[in-house]
Amino acid sequence: MPGLRTHLDSDAYKLADEVRRRVHRVVKQPAFRTDFDLVRQILKSSNSACANIAEGFSRFLPRDHAQFLRIAKASLSETIEHLTDAHGRGLVDREALLTIASFARRSRGACTQWIRYLEGCDRDKT
């Protein structure tokens, strides 16, 4: 997006980072102590969203950048799915699920807008 100096300035990253921070807090709850695999998966997906937004920002070509944003969106969707599973197992309360999922959906929306912008840049070069 125009005017961004680093990935840290983007709404997509800020919202994904909020997802990651809240996920880290949730998985520290005692209920998660018995499901190491789910903890690993949810931490990995929430970390992946932020990492892919950052990596995409470092790409020179808009098409490459957009691909990393698509991966970040998928990681956010995966995080929502893991939280939904955890809620079904009684590990996460409904409020935490809804709050984190809301941040994840907002981050995905910001990624989508960023992708649209990048796709416009790509068309300008052809």
The CATH number assigned to the domain with range 8-124 reads 1.20.1440.60
Per-residue pLDDT tens listing for the chain (126 residues):
556 676 666 899 999 999 999 999 999 999 888 899 999 999 999 999 999 999 988 887 889 989 999 999 999 999 999 999 999 999 999 999 999 999 999 999 999 998 999 888 855 454
Q: Are 80 and 96 a contacting pair, CB within 8 Å?
A: no
CA-to-CA distance for 98 and 118, rounded, in angstroms? Answer: 30
pLDDT digits (tens, 9 = 90+) for 58-78: 887 889 989 999 999 999 999
Enumerate the domain spans of the chain: 8-124
How much is the pLDDT for 59?
A: 80
